[in-house]
Structure 1
């Protein structure tokens, strides 16, 4: 038996400098067996075993194997194939696909030029972009060339008829495989310049058709075919996956919006509300391209809130895949993870359904989780994942499927297992969503090389200004702000400026105090939500204060009306009393002058006196009633004055700043203008409010007086006359 051990240098070195797993391998090689753990002292000898192993070059954070193990192995340094060998490999692949039976002669003639050009360009990138501690993932190997040609070979004749389209496709695939992993814009700029220089130096006259602007290719723009009466029952009505160049980003954005609405309609538990600015749309295209390829796995690197998981879910929905994400609990362990992986392998390998496994760095509860992920990315196989009875069940269900797809292949256990693993690798797509913050990402990538080599990397840059403005507009466009459209647009723009300013302040903070503080896209979204809550609170506070002011003015009006009525009653009563007193004095004067006729008029005087006494009693009763009404009105007047004293100068300033104040406030200020004997507009109907038009301009002039608050507090209520009351009565009747 031959045992192959891949990544033999992966085990962690303990504090004594040993690798426990490799010590067991060394014991097996030296002593040809193991000691039994169940029966101490018994030694099991294993014969006819040969070991083969593979490892990456040590250094740069990668372990070496112990010398005690190394001495038992013959070491061979596996170098890259020669330039001629690499060209011959990919020339055979490309020539077999791009032939005259499939493509036009113009396309077929340019393909032999692209094979060495791709290899030369890849070598120049590999020479320039060397791995560093911050860019440890700048590792380039033959998988990159394979992925570039894998993407090129997806195109069909109808979408690739000219040399221009071929060169656009070649540029797109090189950019997706190599440039998307770059962490800095200067690296991407150098990449595009290097691509143009190499193409110009090697293509010659063909370089005239080299595209000036980068383009994107996708496979989700076509609509599903409509069902016809004479269609075959086995005909698929899924949208065809045609790999083609996008007509425009606006067209793609409209298409993606349709997919998002379908996602929200069909997928329960996930409500997606994404803003498809330019960068988000590009990353969606990139993720969709990765998982649409067989065995396509993605490593999405970006800070929290960049949209990695949401874009992956939407891309999976667009591709017609299911997506799965573990539910992390306090007791989640390796056993739970293996159960979830069994479900994924059954779905992808047994059912043959496309499946995207979304795995984030927050879900790495134990570092051993990454061993399973590394095995899937490296070989597609996890040792002893299924028990024997489970595998027998899978084999029995898989036999008719394999006979249908491969009728000439015998249904042996080895063939069934190989078919199951191959089918699972074909349909299972892993999307790793990691954050570059801290040292964990670098250390994990060095410990588990499959995370880098087995995935296509897409590095999420920080949001540009247009992205921040688009997100701000999405959150504030429908939010009611009491301002003009111009001011609202300025508010939206300043949200982006504030976010960028805080980012710059974080950099300065790190330079001065060496403390790292991160401002992520999620921070911008939280800031917008906080702004909306704070604005609502302040707006409600202003409404409450305006209601208090209107209530105080109403109390003042009621008290003024009651006092005016009492004053009228008192004036009338005083007139009656004065008349009665005059008559009594005249009678007494007559009595003094005419003592002789006293007896004659005695009866008349008595009658007059009786009438006067009755009249005085009536006047006293009326006076008591008037004083009682005045006493009842005084608490309302005092309450109105107390409410008026709660109004502050800041509240009046707030009302003055309202661009479009509530209509009730304008009516209240009209009453204030009447009390201050200020000019108001002629009475005209307001059709919108079903009332009269307000004199807000005159009200602003009244409120602009610095002593306005003092005047309304110290207003002499005795100056209120009947005319003022009559003018204010319609305002009191406003519903």
Structure 2
């Protein structure tokens, strides 16, 4: 493929960038030679004053004249404090985030400009708000009490020098807090001073209860004043009706998944025009590319190469009307600019980083937007009130009851504060840092609860065993007592029973002798019965053999009987002197049907009588041949009478 050299004509490129370093790319001399470089020096104090005077004048023009007259004093005072902070509170390895720029002054006035005209329209309220915003922007960044005391000294000096008021009058309360959340349920919230700290705690606890009633994951928070002022990102998002978005790092989670999560959050801000709070912890950092992406979001609201074609189509569809409403041509550039404007307006990035080790310092150096574009809130050591409140919540909330609860809670507080003090001494002597954090205090409470529960369980088991033993002993005593009473009551009965038993033994001995005689007779009868049984068995066996032999003959007789016909019977009937076999057969039939014979004289023996069954058969059986055959066929041969 032929490469064609392209000429760019009638185009002027104007660029703006900071000096190389701190996450900014180094530009080669080959590129810079095409540009006319102009170095932009820091703004003079007069220019800074003019910028912020204009901003503050515009905001306070609706306030009372006495408040409007404070604007130049506010501007001069904050500029002076800013310059002294920049000259005095210099960054060190332990305080690498001590970097300040004009954005910090802008943040102070951004807070002041939120003051409610309806409820904060007084000079003292405006001055106290000025001090409060300095504490929030600069004071919350300071790491130790020495620096915080120095800042308070500067504030007192400027209050007297610029405003001409008594610093003790302005700083009369221990805590100076402004907020926009005290009117629970109101449609319009006013940014005013909160003087009643107890009521503030109650309001925040009410918001917490409301959050826990709807949230999937409850927040077991303890409301002490330092927590109300400095932490509670999720609860703050809930109070402001913002959606808190946090990534969930799981197995296989990488940079691609992180970019998708960031894109989802940004598109909700830009396309749906919803306010999002993106909460990101240093424990979730898998790659430093994540921090670079966050740095880009803080700086411009965009991450390079984040959106696909379909994402850009969705952005164009949502933001085209925005451009038209602003009177701009809906070009791709204008549409994306409108989208970024929405993102920058709606996204709030909250970073939770630990200062332990070199990682925090390195990230601040590599990604300057972490300091420049963020309001840093350095979590100081928990005060005594916080330690006591947390200990009380953890111990009592876990259902633990102790006889001297107040002493135990003060003991936890004393131990933690002493360890903090000793860790500072350890650092001063050996220059080795031992970090004693709120997590350490929570782990102490957790260890106490687990050990207490374990020991109580052991004591409970021993107590249960002892109680079971005592119960058994008590029951045994009761049973022994009952047995003794029963024994006393049964003694006469036992004596009578013994006498009766003796008499019964005499009777038994006599019966035993009789039983022996009876046993001999029974044995003899048993022997005779066995003999008879053997004889009977022999007879039974013989009868069975005869039966076995007779059954075939019986079957043959039945078969022959089935062949007989009425004509055969008539032939027999017609015989006057039948053969002896016929007579014998008819005799047997007469006996079967219980027909008695006729008594006749015996021809062979004078004076003797014989039974003649033939004549009886002729009269009663052979008269009806068919009936005779039916009677023989249906004869009950299983029940033949003995006679």
Same fold (TM over 0.5): yes
Q: 2:222 aligns with which of 275, 285, 289?
A: 275
Give yes or no for the alignment of 1:316 onto 2:242. no
What is the correspondence of 1:428-467 to structure 2 with a 5 Å cutoff? 428-467=347-386
> Is 2:280–2:352's contact at 8 Å kept on the other side of the alignment?
yes
Q: Distance in 1 between matches of 2:223 and 2:486?
A: 75
Matches within 5 A, 1:188-203: 188-203=148-163
Matched, 1:163 2:123: yes
Partner of 1:85: 47
Provide the C-alpha distance between the structure 2 equivalents of 1:153 and 1:572, rounded to a whole number of angstroms: 101
* Counterpart-to-counterpart distance in 2, 1:430 and 1:574: 95
The equivalences for 1:332-343 within 5 A come to 332-343=253-264
- 1:114 aligns to what? 74
Shift of 1:500: 3.1
Deviation string for 1:516-554 (max 9, x for gaps)? 554432232233233233323333333333333333334
**For residues 192 and 19 of structure 2, what CA distance do their matches in structure 1 show?**
40
* Distance apart, 1:182 and its partner CA: 0.5
1:316-368 CA distance string (max 9 Å, x none): 11111111111213322222222222212211011111001111111211111
| Corresponding position: 1:355 with 2:276 | yes
Counterparts of 2:462 and 2:172 in 1: how far apart (Å)? 62
Say if 1:200 and 1:416 are closer, same or farther in 2 by CA, change over 3 A. same
3-state SS in 2 of match to 1:157 = coil
| Structure 2 residue 87 is the aligned partner of structure 1 residue 141 | no
d(CA) in 1 for partners of 2:55 and 2:341?
Answer: 21
RMSD of equivalent CA atoms? 3.5
SS of structure 2 residue aligned to 1:431? strand
Q: What SS does structure 1 have at the residue aligned with 2:69? A: helix
Please state how far the C-alpha of 1:174 moved relative to its aligned partner: 1.2
Name the structure 1 match of 2:92. Answer: 132
Partners of 1:613 and 1:355 lie apart in 2 by 99
Normalised TM-score (structure 2):
0.70
What is the distance in 2 between the residues matched to 1:452 and 1:612? 106
After superposition, what is the alpha-carbon deviation per residue over 1:166-211, rounded to whole angstroms, capped at 9, x for unaligned? 1001111111111110011110111011111123223346979744
What is the CA–CA distance in structure 1 between the aligned matches of 2:192 and 2:223, rounded to whole Å?
21
Deviation of the 1:271 alpha carbon: 0.5
The question of 1:94 aligning with 2:56 is answered yes
Shift in alpha-carbon separation, 1:496–1:352, aligned structure 2, 3 A: same
Q: Distance in 1 between matches of 2:129 and 2:381?
A: 27
Partner Cα distance (1:612, 1:439) in 2: 99
Q: Distance in 1 between matches of 2:115 and 2:487?
A: 102
In the alignment of these two chains, the number of paired residues is 503
Q: Is 1:546 aligned to residue 546 of structure 2?
A: no
Is 1:254 the counterpart of 2:192? The answer is: no
Q: Which one of the candidate residues 163, 177, 192 is aligned to 1:216?
A: 177
TM-score, normalized by length of structure 1?
A: 0.62
Distance 1:555 1:156, change over 3 A: closer
Q: Is 1:241 equivalent to 2:189 in the alignment?
A: yes
Q: What are the equivalent positions in structure 2 for 1:276-675 lying under 5 Å apart?
A: 276-284=223-231, 311-403=232-324, 406-479=325-398, 483-484=402-403, 487-504=404-421, 517-560=434-477, 563=480, 614=499, 617=502
Distance in 2 between residues matched to 1:619 and 1:529, nearest whole Å: 79
d(CA) in 2 for partners of 1:129 and 1:146? 19
Quickly say closer, same or farther: Cα 1:576–1:495, change in 2 above 3 A.
same
